[in-house]
Structure 1
Amino acid sequence: MSRIAALTPPYAPDIQAQFDRIMRGAPPLTLFRVMAGHDRAWEKFRAGSLLDRGPLSLREREIVIDRTCALSACEYEWGVHVSVFAQGAGLGAEEIRATVLGSADAPCWSSAERALIAAVDAFHHRSTLREGEFAELKTHYDDDQILEIILLCGFYRTVSYLANGLALPLEDKAERFPAG
């Protein structure tokens, strides 16, 4: 059970419309139901505007999100993303496992993906990039993509704080972290 109660149906029409838009017909996640019960928090959460695709491919986006959540020990959000997006993003079992247990130089990643994961790791551990890390990222990604990478790291770190801090129960259909 979450430390802050989640909304239960029936939802107010405007909240239901927002859930429908975000979830595309699936039941709303516990995280969304908790946040939507608090107008200011829900507004700020949705104002992040990172629930859309943006300038990264789905695969790149999911690598950033999955790695950020894994580093933040957020099985809740990692599991939701892996179960919903991994197949469409073309992430196989080895790559999914590597988001949690692998290093940036794991052989399953392309050179661009290695730079991406190294950037996520740097933001998680140091909140910045060294010049060489930025230069490597810049060889594969343009400015808009780099800004998106940074924003996704920050947004999903915040999502991880929310899910972990609220002790959200894992979603039934979500994946679980691989055993070490």
Structure 2
Amino acid sequence: QHTVIGVRAGITDDEVRRLTVEALDGWSPPERALLAAVDQLVADHDLDDATWSALAEGRTTEQVMDLVFAVGQYVLVSTALRTFRVPIDDGMPGFPS
């Protein structure tokens, strides 16, 4: 479902594929900082100082806060949808494995 929406928003098929692996090869430094921060927020519900510093480089505090709130909201909604067994929309693929 997210792959279709992401492609509509301009994410390439290659970027979608690269998001399914842990390696951050091929991403720019700002993109790597963003992806590492998202991974850390989902796993730990926190950002360590090094991740915060890397993420904040070239971004305002408000932009970093927006990311934290966006990830938190996604985790909240996805937890509810999975817990209540809400199915993926018909005709929509799941995330590639």
User: Which interval holds the TM-score relative to the shorter structure?
Assistant: 0.7 to 0.9
Gaps of 5+ in 1: 1-78
The question of 1:111 aligning with 2:32 is answered no
| Residue 156 (structure 1) aligned with residue 97 (structure 2) | no
Quote the offset at 1:88 in angstroms: 4.0
After superposition, give the CA deviation of every residue in 1:45-96 in whole Å (9 maximum; x if it has no partner): xxxxxxxxxxxxxxxxxxxxxxxxxxxxxxxxxx1x3323x23432111211
Q: Which runs of 5+ in 2 are unaligned?
A: none
Amino acid paired to 1:95:
E
Which of these two proteins has the greater Rg computed from alpha carbons?
1
Identity of aligned residues (%): 28
Q: How does 1:87-102 map to 2 (within 5 A)?
A: 87-99=7-19, 101-102=20-21
TM-score (ref. length: structure 1): 0.50
Runs of 4+ that moved beyond 3 A: none
The counterpart of 1:132, out of the listed 40, 47, 50, is 50
Tell me the TM-score normalised to structure 2 length: 0.87
Count matched residues: 97
CA deviation string 1:16-43 (max 9, x = no partner): xxxxxxxxxxxxxxxxxxxxxxxxxxxx
How big is the alpha-carbon RMSD for the aligned residues of Structure 1 and Structure 2?
A: 1.6
Higher normalized contact order (CA 8 Å, seq sep 6+, divided by chain length): 2
